[in-house]
Amino acid sequence: MEPRLILKTHTESLRPGNYSVLIAKCTSPDRSAYPETVEKSLTQFFPSKKGKEVSSIAKYTVLSATSKNRGFGFLLDNMIWSWKGYVINTVLHFLNKKENNDFPAFAELTNIEKICYLRFFLETEGAIILKLAERFCRTGELSYQYLKDDIQNIFKEIYQEYIDIAPDFRVRSRIKETFGGMKLKRPYDESTLAHKIKPHIQALADLGILSVEKTDVGYTFDPVSVGASSSFSIIHSRLKNIQNMEHMFCNHDYFPLIAELYGLVPIHYSEKHSDLLRETISYGYSVMRNSVTLMADMDALIEWNCIKMLSKHNVIVERRHVEDFFARIRKEHPSNIKYHVDGKGRIAYLVFTEPI
């Protein structure tokens, strides 16, 4: 158990469009690279920014794209795609965005991209998202000045709640060690506060969860209206607290919340949707499979199906639905599907020997 919060950030660095460029233009599924090389490549896609600022944005985008410092894990440490990177690549391929060299095309998110990235943001940044929603529901306001005064308390609350629900001494000690390192840096220097607040806000604005308005006294942040409710009230009412959020997300219960936040009224998967699922699996496999081994990552394939079925067909697909579909193919046509294990002996990859 790790707090769902990225601490090491920089203004502009958590914007979803950055990661799309990173996957589409600066990294690959099988060619490793040094992080510095990838950072340099990424800077070329920020034409409106210069010098040190753009270098810092690229550096922190690459850092947060790995699993270091509780990042998203889109990339492995050697800069090749993780299974999450494959999902993003498949979404971009589906939208015919991969060949585009215009950064604004990546920065402007379509519905399927918002669903894809919100899924990963909830997994990695769920705690800070919940706390922002909680603050708004409690006070009725959320401004840059308010967050400047309160951001350290928000971080402290997050870590204290994780310490309280830690399942054993070892996990509790690890969280305390991280939080202890934070306290050594307190109070935060005024010059660093923007980098601890704005990245999270900018990402949520890009995802359509909140709006940003500049006023005479600074910036204010408002949740987006969803019917008679608002995005923050939905998040707060569904997640409730850190413990409940952990229970939901550990059970992969992301998509009902995502659907509600985007005003969707989806139906749950049933047998009548099997042809749509087959088509979605087939497309995902054609994009994801390795050109030599023909293997595709099962986690990536399952996640792609959940994202695409919700965004394009308004159907909630659970992980078990896709796994059951694979099992049925294996039962009816055992020679048409082959499973492969990872280094831990877990079934992690599959190969379709015949079109499904």
Domain ranges (residues) in the chain: 16-243, 269-352
DSSP letters along 42-93, please?
A: HHTT-TT--HHHHHHHHHHHHHHHSSGGG---SB-TTSBB-HHHHHHHHHHH
Across 34-48, 126-140, 250-264, the highest mean pLDDT is recorded for 250-264
**Residue 191 pLDDT:** 61
Question: What contacts 259, CB < 8 A, 6 or more positions away?
Answer: 265, 266, 310, 316
The yes or no reply on domain 269-352 and CATH 1.10.10 is yes
pLDDT at 190 exceeding the cut of 90: no
Q: Are 102 and 25 in contact (CB under 8 A)?
A: no
End-to-end Cα spacing for the chain: 38
Mean pLDDT for all residues in the chain: 91
pLDDT of residue 14: 96
- Higher local confidence (pLDDT), 69 or 302: 302
The mean per-residue pLDDT over the stretch 39-48 comes to 87
Task: Select from 64, 82, 41, 44 the least CA-distant residue to 299.
Answer: 82
Q: What is the pLDDT of residue 193?
A: 67
pTM: 0.93
Query: Which residues, at least 6 apart from 110, have a Cβ–Cβ distance to it below 8 Å?
Result: 95
Torsions phi, psi of 345, nearest 5?
80, 10
Residue with more model confidence, 180 or 1 = 1
- 38: pLDDT confidence band, cut at 50, 70 and 90? very high
Using the structure block, give the residue that is written with the tokens 């971080």.
155
Q: Mean pLDDT lowest for which of 132-141, 214-223, 233-242, 318-327?
A: 214-223
The 3-state DSSP class for residue 216 equals coil
CB 204 within 8 A of CB 210: yes
Residue 184 pLDDT level (bands cut at 50, 70, 90):
very low
